[in-house]
Amino acid sequence: MAKKERFYDYKTIKVKGAYHHLFRGGTDENWVHHNPDGPAITPVDPDDKSIEKKYYIFGFEKTKDEFKDYQQSKEGLPWYKNPSMNLNSRF
């Protein structure tokens, strides 16, 4: 059997004292910053003031207020927080 290909990829990497949340979807070959739950770039050490938090939605930088508006415009639970989508609970 062939391995089932996912529609998207999501990963978090650590670069120069910051975590970068990256997303690649569809037929895109390039990774873009994206984190729907918080900042896409966050410092590893919360007390480090040299790296500031940055918010990105599908590669587009947003201000903190724009990001809050984006979060409020979403309806319902995301698929990964929905208990009915948990495969382990079905069996």
Render pLDDT for 54-74 as a digit per residue (tens, 0 to 9).
999 988 999 999 999 888 887
Q: Does residue 53 contact residue 39 with C-beta atoms inside 8 Å?
A: yes
Listed in sequence order, the residues at least 6 apart from 78 whose beta carbon sits closer than 8 Å to its beta carbon are: 36
Structure confidence at residue 74 (pLDDT):
75
Where do the structural domains in the chain lie, given as residue ranges? 8-90
- pTM of the full structure: 0.70
7 DSSP 8-state letter: S
